[in-house]
């Protein structure tokens, strides 16, 4: 009986350590997302051309960030991204031990990924121009979503049932 209790305690602490590591990874990626979005937001309002991000007509952050699709209801898409990544960063860094956090992070990451995929569709089929910053942000939100799935599925089944 003691072996069972001991092994349960060890598996619980290993699960908590795994969850903490995954949340730390999400926090780091979220910080990278905030930085990418901040640079993209700066480019949205800039008047000068971006040399490091423009590689002809097919790769141009300026064309994408200043297009009619770069704002939703007057709010720059990059600002929405920075806010979303900021919330993910706060959840993953400061609220990671709360039971409801993995589900909240997963939902936010899925919404962010869906929005990023929509914007990628716009880049590919409407603007026919790619933004390196946007592709970087897409990569970040894909990784965050994957880690959020792993974090949520790492929870014991009883915690998952309580969160739903």
**Residue 110 near residue 144 (C-beta atoms within 8 A):** no
Distance from chain centroid for Cα 87? 10
**C-alpha–C-alpha distance, residues 120 and 114, integer Å:** 10
**Residue 61 near residue 43 (C-beta atoms within 8 A):** yes
Among residues 137, 35, 151, the alpha carbon closest in space to that of 98 is found at 151
Distance from chain centroid for Cα 75? 19
CATH code assigned to 20-163: 1.20.1440.130
Q: Is 85 exposed, middle or buried (0-12, 13-18, 19+ CB in 10 A)?
A: buried
- Copy the structure tokens of residue 46: 């800039």
Judged against a pLDDT cut of 90, whether residue 13 lies above it is answered with no
Question: pLDDT tens for residues 61-108?
Answer: 888 888 899 999 999 999 999 999 999 999 999 988 888 999 999 999
104 Cβ contact partners less than 8 Å away, ≥ 6 residues apart: 91
Tell the residue number behind the tokens 């998952």, with chain if given.
Answer: 160
What proportion of the chain, given as a percentage, has pLDDT over 70?
86
Judged against a pLDDT cut of 60, whether residue 30 lies above it is answered with yes
**C-alpha–C-alpha distance, residues 134 and 52, integer Å:** 14
Domain ranges of the chain: 20-163
pLDDT bin (cut points 50, 70, 90) of residue 157 is: low
pLDDT of residue 5: 40
């Amino acid at each position: 009986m003691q072996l069972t209790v001991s092994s349960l305690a060890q598996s619980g602490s290993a699960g908590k350590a795994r969850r903490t590591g995954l949340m730390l990874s999400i926090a780091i990626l979220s910080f990278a997302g905030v930085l990418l979005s901040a640079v993209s937001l700066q480019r949205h309002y800039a008047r000068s051309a971006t040399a490091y991000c423009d590689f002809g007509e097919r790769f141009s952050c300026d064309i994408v960030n200043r297009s009619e699709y770069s704002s939703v209801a007057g709010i720059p898409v990059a600002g929405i991204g920075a806010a979303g990544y900021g919330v993910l960063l706060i959840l993953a860094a400061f609220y990671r031990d709360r039971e409801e956090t993995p589900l909240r992070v997963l939902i936010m990451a899925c919404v962010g990924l869906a929005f990023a995929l929509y914007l990628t569709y716009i880049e590919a089929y409407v603007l026919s121009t790619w933004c390196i910053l946007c592709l970087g942000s897409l990569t970040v939100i894909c990784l965050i979503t994957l880690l959020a799935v792993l974090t949520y599925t790492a929870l014991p089944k009883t915690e998952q049932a309580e969160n739903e």
